[in-house]
Amino acid sequence: MKLETLLSYKGLVNKSPSTDEIRDRANSLTKSLPSEPIKLFYGETYDDYGNPIDSMKYYFFVSMLSKSLNEEGFKTNPVILIADVAACRNVSKSLNNKYIELGEGRASFVDNVKKIYNLNLNIIKMSDYLFTQEFQDKLEKIVSICNKNCLLMRKIEKTVPESKIDIERKKNFAYSFDEIGTIIDLDIKVGPPREDLYDDVARDIAEIQAQKQLKSLFLTPTFPLGKNWSYFFAHEGIEEHGITAYKAGSKQLQVNRIIIGQTDYKKVEELIENSFISKNYSLPNPCLDMCVIAEMAKINLENSENFSNIYDEFYSGDLSERQLKNIALDSLTKYILSKFENE
């Protein structure tokens, strides 16, 4: 698939570097370090509610981006990071062993998705590298730079929810620094829009160190299924930013998520049927997002080159709300749910 086709698919990409910027980065790497691949990355934590379908959008995208660049002759290293250590930092110590096991489970899930859809991905866990001397040396330099720079430390604080500032300050912002140390050397980082706080600090530190700066590529937000208009009206934060794609229990909305291997057909049908849909493209449309994810699944399964025009067809009025819901249910069943019946 052409890079232009992938990046311009409506309903998938929220914000991206231009194709020229991406190719310029790849070309500069090829010239300066011929054996060095362009580093593509998506990282996620998890909770104990299972594997949400929404994470698959990111796995599909990173692989498709990698393949698009490969077709142009560029080497890539497309990484999916399962941030097990970071997930453990968010729970009590008594749950650490459980969350390490959950991390193994999430990594196995990604590997299964990779095999089913023939994805080009390298799957790693944060625990694989976090405690190595090499990473700890890099982390020490980053922390030192930030501790000497009040502006950077204020930005570090902004990466943490206000309610957790005091807790994270006592931990010396270990979670945030681990994240920044992980992403600072990347070329293209794929994620949800709210992660730009980390990306911005990483770019500042890279500039201070006279190193290349990562480029951020954001996919569209994730929204809960099975909610009506009044729910989104009453929860402006969710309407604007969505919920966490990779945590099924984000905002305690696990019953409004499709969880692979857990949510049965009847429940999926119910969620789609009860989902709010508007012809206003600026409002949440979780059913369209399900269509997009299923479309990506189809493309990878069939090794095809082109997306459908479902976004334009719906917002131009060629597709009704009823038709969109039917397409969402049918395509999810055919290209995703049926592939994980034994999960």
Tell me, what CATH number does 53's domain have?
3.40.50.620
Positive or negative, the CA dihedral 100, 101, 102, 105 is positive
Cα–Cα distance between 222 and 200 in angstroms, integer? 22
Cα–Cα distance between 41 and 51 in angstroms, integer? 19
Q: What percent of the chain has pLDDT over 70?
A: 100
CB neighbourhood size of 220 (10 A): 21
The count of structural domains within the chain is: 2
Domain of residue 285 covers 229-340
Which three-class secondary structure state does DSSP give residue 144? helix
What's the pLDDT band for 305 if we cut at 50, 70, 90?
Answer: confident
Whether residue 290 has pLDDT greater than 80:
yes
> Is residue 224, in this structure, part of any structural domain at all?
no
> Is residue 145, in this structure, part of any structural domain at all?
yes
Cα–Cα distance between 287 and 272 in angstroms, integer? 6
Q: Are residues 242 and 208 in the same domain?
A: no
Q: Are residues 125 and 35 in the same domain?
A: yes
Q: Are residues 17 and 73 in the same domain?
A: yes
Whether residue 281 has pLDDT greater than 70:
yes
> Is residue 294, in this structure, part of any structural domain at all?
yes
> Is residue 325, in this structure, part of any structural domain at all?
yes
Average pLDDT, the chain: 95
CB neighbourhood size of 97 (10 A): 10
User: Which residue from 85, 88, 71, 82 is spatially nearest to 26, judged by alpha carbons?
Assistant: 71
Contacts of 13 (CB under 8 A, 6+ apart): 6, 7, 217, 218, 219, 220
Q: Are residues 253 and 104 in the same domain?
A: no
User: Which residue from 141, 155, 160 is spatially nearest to 206, judged by alpha carbons?
Assistant: 141
Per residue in 224-266, pLDDT tens? 999 999 999 898 888 888 999 999 999 999 999 999 999 999 9
pLDDT of res. 205: 96
Q: Are residues 138 and 114 in the same domain?
A: yes
pLDDT of res. 163: 84
* Residue that finishes a domain, picked among 184, 219, 254: 219
pLDDT of res. 329: 98
Q: Are residues 113 and 85 in the same domain?
A: yes
Identify the bridge partners of residue 64 per DSSP, sorted by sequence position.
none
**Terminal-to-terminal C-alpha distance of the chain:** 30
Mean pLDDT, range 96-114, rounded to an integer: 97
> Is residue 288, in this structure, part of any structural domain at all?
yes
Cα–Cα distance between 11 and 322 in angstroms, integer? 19
Q: Are residues 191 and 51 in the same domain?
A: yes
Q: What percent of the chain has pLDDT over 90?
A: 87
* Residue that finishes a domain, picked among 187, 219, 251: 219
Which tokens go with 53?
């379908």
Q: Are residues 180 and 236 in the same domain?
A: no
Which three-class secondary structure state does DSSP give residue 127? helix
> Is residue 292, in this structure, part of any structural domain at all?
yes
Contact 72, 23 (CB under 8 A): yes
Which three-class secondary structure state does DSSP give residue 52? strand
CA 86 remoteness from chain centre: 15
**Phi, psi torsion values for 81, nearest 5 degrees:** -100, 125
Cα–Cα distance between 303 and 310 in angstroms, integer? 19
Mean pLDDT, range 308-334, rounded to an integer: 96
Positive or negative, the CA dihedral 224, 228, 229, 230 is negative
Contact 99, 84 (CB under 8 A): yes
Which tokens go with 46?
């998890």
Q: Are residues 186 and 241 in the same domain?
A: no
Which three-class secondary structure state does DSSP give residue 81? strand
pLDDT of res. 343: 62
> Is residue 107, in this structure, part of any structural domain at all?
yes
pLDDT of res. 236: 82
Mean pLDDT, range 303-332, rounded to an integer: 95
Per residue in 135-186, pLDDT tens? 999 999 999 999 999 999 999 999 988 888 998 998 899 999 999 999 999 9
Q: Are residues 25 and 154 in the same domain?
A: yes
What's the pLDDT band for 32 if we cut at 50, 70, 90?
Answer: confident
> Is residue 251, in this structure, part of any structural domain at all?
yes
